[in-house]
């Protein structure tokens, strides 16, 4: 029914069933949910090891003024492992082929620069070619940083399941 800004009260449930049940009982005893509560959001992440897909699940329970409750879900599926499955192999081979192609083009352009010196940069298309090559290498660096960050985050999640 509404958008809820970040904030509010948070209760972190652990992966231990006994501790989570104890926390829920304590919240109920202290009337954590009362007549002023407008919504309860339950958020959790799942990993399907077979497909290597991560699922972010958000369950929303909204309390309406007439006393009824609306229930909505939001499920986002994310593939953090880039090269999983047969499609991943095709993606990896395509990226390797593209990298080899751009590396060869870079060598050819460097040979032209050595041969023509400053005259090389007088042509618009040569400057455009180098702009494209520089942008490609920047994209490779950013992609590599993203991949490393993803590995670190996944390792951190595996080592700290709570």
Q: Tell me the pLDDT tens digit for each residue of 25-83.
A: 999 999 998 888 889 999 988 888 787 788 999 999 999 888 899 999 999 998 877 78
With respect to CATH, is domain 17-78 assigned 2.20.25? yes
CB 63 within 8 A of CB 69: yes
Q: What is the tens place of the pLDDT at every residue in 82-99?
A: 787 788 899 999 999 999
Which comes out higher in pLDDT, residue 88 or 162?
88
Domain ranges of the chain: 17-78, 85-159
DSSP track, the chain: -----S-S------S-HHHHHHHHHHHHHTTSS-TT--EEEEEEEEEETTTTEEEEEEEEEEE-TTS-EEEEEEEEEE---TT-HHHHHHHHHHHHHHHHHHHHHHHHHHHHHHHHGGGGGGSHHHHHHHHHHHHHHHHHHHHHHHHHHHHHHHHHHHH---
- Distance from the first to the final alpha carbon of the chain: 31
Looking at residue 66, its pLDDT comes to 87
CB 23 within 8 A of CB 11: yes
Number of Cα atoms under 13 Å in the Cβ half of residue 91: 8
Looking at residue 143, its pLDDT comes to 92
Confidence of residue 8 (pLDDT cuts 50, 70, 90): confident
Mean pLDDT of the chain: 89
Q: What is the tens place of the pLDDT at every residue in 134-150?
A: 999 999 999 999 989 98
85-116 and 124-159 helices cross at what angle (nearest 10)? 140
Looking at residue 162, its pLDDT comes to 61
Looking at residue 80, its pLDDT comes to 79
Confidence of residue 6 (pLDDT cuts 50, 70, 90): confident
């Amino acid at each position: 029914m509404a958008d809820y800004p970040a904030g509010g009260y948070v209760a972190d449930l652990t992966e231990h069933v006994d501790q989570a049940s104890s926390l829920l009982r304590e919240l109920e005893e202290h009337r954590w949910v009362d007549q002023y509560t407008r919504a309860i959001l339950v958020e959790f992440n799942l990993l399907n090891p077979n497909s290597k897909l991560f699922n972010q699940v958000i369950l929303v329970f909204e309390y309406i003024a007439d006393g009824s409750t609306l229930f909505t879900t939001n499920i986002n599926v994310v593939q953090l492992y880039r090269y999983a499955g047969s499609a991943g192999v095709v993606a990896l081979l395509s990226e390797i082929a593209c990298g080899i192609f751009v590396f060869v083009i870079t060598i050819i352009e460097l040979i032209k620069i050595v041969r023509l010196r400053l005259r090389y940069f007088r042509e618009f298309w040569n400057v455009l070619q180098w702009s494209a090559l520089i942008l490609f290498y920047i994209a490779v660096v950013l992609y590599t940083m993203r991949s490393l960050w993803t590995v670190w985050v996944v390792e951190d999640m595996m080592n700290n399941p709570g």
